[in-house]
A and B are shown apart, each in its own frame.
Chain A
Amino acid sequence: MTDVREAQLQDGSFEFLAIFLEGLPFIFLGTLVSGFLGTYLPRNAFEKFLPKNRSAAILVSGLLGAIFPVCECAVVPVIRRLVKNGLPASCALAYMLAAPIFNPVTAISTYKAFNNSYLVSGSRLAMGYLIAVAVGLIMARVAHKHFLKPSALEESHEHQHPRTLSAAMNNSLRDLMDVGLYFTIGVILTSLLKTTVIDPTSDFWKGLAENSLAATPAMMILAFILSLCSTSDAFIAANIGNFKYGPKLAFMVFGPMMDAKLIFLYSTVFRWKFILFLCLGLFIGSGALSLFFEHVIEANWNQEVTP
């Protein structure tokens, strides 16, 4: 084995363990919550809490991360179970996509990473929220069977299931195994890509920062591959090369919604075809909106936002 291959194997193993160790406790927390919700939460309980109007319910769902802050790893098993318990999938999507961004932890870390900038932190939260509710509103018009996996589709049925600790633990275990499997596959892919494909210090990558057309897609691809936690990605975005504010915003909005490990986690709830469309839609939407935000901020505040 060559020295380079040995080094890549060492680095890939290191990256794999770092993400696995960081993510597994959150996955467990999410599956524990999901298992107990699935057992004890009455069906359609959310109808009592969310507005009756579907659009208003989606708008509210996008804000729930402020009250129930969860990272992108933990949110998937939770919404998976909530959808089965009657939460409209469009609301679940809005919550799933917005929660990792629209929460106090991410807001503070972004604020700190960008020199105590309310502008950057606020625009990140606003953009994350807008995209999440837009996806929710669009998907509210599509039948669940077109984007939810059959196992996530629920149909009211008459028989009662036991509401016991044993049932809750078994549900949690099953969720942990399902989500843990896809999480592991995602982490393997992330580690492989990080150690073999991407080198942010290369001349090629640095050159992209100077190219206004390529910079934004490049930063979103980087976010996809790096698969960072939304609570820490602002520090990486702030310190990556000479990229302007727009590409960095795209990095911080697209990454928590779609990355190499998340696509596998999403596949526990959604159909692969939908995940591909979602990825494409988020890519285009995040890219376009981030450039728009950059333009508006620079035009109105007459400044370039840099760390």
Chain B
Amino acid sequence: MTALHTRLFGLLATIWGGVLIYFYTTMRVKEYLAPDFHHLIMIGGIGIIILGVYSLLNPSSETACDHGHAHHDCDGHDHGHDHDKNSADCHHEHEGHGPGITYVLTLLPLIGALYFTQDKLSNLGLTKKGLYEIPNLTAPADAPPFTREDLEKRIPKNANGEFQLSLVTAYYVAGDREVEGIFNNLPVEFEGRIVEEKVNNENGFRRRIYRSMITCCAADMSVVGISLEFDAPSADPPNETWVKASGILTFEDIKGDRLPLLKVSKVVATEEPYSEFLLRE
């Protein structure tokens, strides 16, 4: 690697590290990664920048010969070269790509992605992640039987006495007739983003509230959504707004599946929580 190549690669590494630091300092990282990974982004970014700046300042001052010495088999041809014993400088041809192609193939997609992303999935993307599907949730195996006492003890209430239930819990209890009896006709409040309802909505009275769940990053995201039934067609608040939806939790049978349904009394816009995502446990 020549000194110029080392400098160019050092600059590129500094840019990559800068991108990580940018996402961390602007907190855009929380739209992409689980909170456990946020500090990792900062540490990784700083590390890459240190490596890049070091290489910019010390280009090839000492270069270990770290590539292969494939004298005997180099894609069918030999390439002879002399070694100066104890030399710190090996002038073999390095098989890796040059700075030009590395810049083009890494920076162009990165710039393109930064330009086109809206830090969230489109409705089409959310649909593929299960927005309008029945989630196949993993119920906690060690959960004790749920009773009314459990409900009162575990689930907090808002100022109006409504249980602040998670969308996931509503799905857990659907179908379990015994537990469902405790939750049926319960005054609850859900928090999430609101979107249009695309299934089981012939009269247009319904919308949908959803939360995204991740483990590591948005690439492993899945979406849990529940139908909201209004008294009349409603477009307020607009789609994708964070809302708190209050009402009575009920359950309905749709094509053989038992699904939760919130009969809405009130929907109000609310502040976006720190993280877009619920973490899978």
Q: Do A and B come from one complex?
A: yes
B contact residues around A227 at 8 Å (CB):
219
Which of B37, B122, B220, B280 makes the CB contact (< 8 A) with A228?
B220
Any A CB within 8 A of the CB of B177? no
CB of A10 within 8 A of CB of B13, answer no
Q: Would you give the shortest CB distance from A265 to chain B, in whole angstroms?
A: 13
Q: Which single residue of chain B is at the shortest CB-CB distance from A8? A: B124
Complex interface: stretch among B39-47, B189-197, B229-237, B262-270 = B39-47
Which of B43, B62, B70, B119 makes the CB contact (< 8 A) with A151?
B70
CB of A149 within 8 A of CB of B95, answer yes
B contact residues around A19 at 8 Å (CB):
217, 219
CB of A25 within 8 A of CB of B20, answer yes
Bound Cα distance from A22 to B128, whole angstroms: 21
CB of A21 within 8 A of CB of B23, answer yes
Which of B88, B106, B121 makes the CB contact (< 8 A) with A184?
B106
CB of A169 within 8 A of CB of B55, answer yes
CB of B72 within 8 A of CB of A226, answer no
Any A CB within 8 A of the CB of B246? no
Q: Would you give the shortest CB distance from A28 to chain B, in whole angstroms?
A: 5
CB of B62 within 8 A of CB of A170, answer yes
Any B CB within 8 A of the CB of A104? no
A contact residues around B121 at 8 Å (CB):
10-11, 14
Any B CB within 8 A of the CB of A274? no
Any A CB within 8 A of the CB of B86? yes
Interface string of B206-217 (1 = CB under 8 A from A): 000000001111
CB of B218 within 8 A of CB of A11, answer no
Q: Would you give the shortest CB distance from B106 to chain A, in whole angstroms?
A: 5
Where chain A touches its partner, the secondary structure class is helix
Any B CB within 8 A of the CB of A138? no
B contact residues around A216 at 8 Å (CB):
none
Any B CB within 8 A of the CB of A16? yes
B contact residues around A185 at 8 Å (CB):
105
CB of A178 within 8 A of CB of B96, answer yes
Q: Would you give the shortest CB distance from A23 to chain B, in whole angstroms?
A: 9
Bound Cα distance from A69 to B96, whole angstroms: 27
CB of A170 within 8 A of CB of B55, answer yes
- The interface size of chain A toward B, counting residues with CB under 8 Å, comes to 93
A145-B73, A235-B220 as given contacts; A170 in contact with B20, CB under 8 Å: no
Bound Cα distance from A254 to B45, whole angstroms: 31
CB of A161 within 8 A of CB of B142, answer no
CB of B71 within 8 A of CB of A239, answer no
Among B37, B43, B97, B128, the one with the most A-chain Cβ atoms within 10 Å of its Cβ is B128
Any A CB within 8 A of the CB of B275? no
Interface string of B55-82 (1 = CB under 8 A from A): 1001011111111111111110000000
CB of B20 within 8 A of CB of A21, answer yes
Any B CB within 8 A of the CB of A211? no
Q: Which single residue of chain A is at the shortest CB-CB distance from B92? A: A151
Any B CB within 8 A of the CB of A240? yes
Bound Cα distance from A180 to B19, whole angstroms: 14
Q: Which single residue of chain B is at the shortest CB-CB distance from A155? A: B69
Using a CB–CB cutoff of 8 Å, the interface residues on chain B facing chain A are 1, 6, 9-10, 12-13, 16, 20, 23, 29, 32-33, 37, 40-41, 43-45, 47-48, 51-52, 54-55, 58, 60-75, 83-88, 90, 94-97, 99, 101-102, 105-106, 109-110, 112-125, 127-128, 130, 132-133, 135-142, 214-220, 222, 280-281
Using a CB–CB cutoff of 8 Å, the interface residues on chain A facing chain B are 4, 6-22, 24-26, 28-29, 32, 35, 38-39, 81, 84, 109, 112-117, 145, 149-155, 157-164, 166-178, 180-181, 184-185, 187-188, 190, 194-195, 198-201, 226-229, 231-233, 235-236, 238-242, 307
List 11 A-B residue pairs with CB atoms under 8 Å apart, sorted by A's residue number.
A29-B44, A39-B66, A112-B281, A152-B68, A153-B68, A159-B85, A161-B65, A166-B61, A171-B64, A180-B102, A232-B214
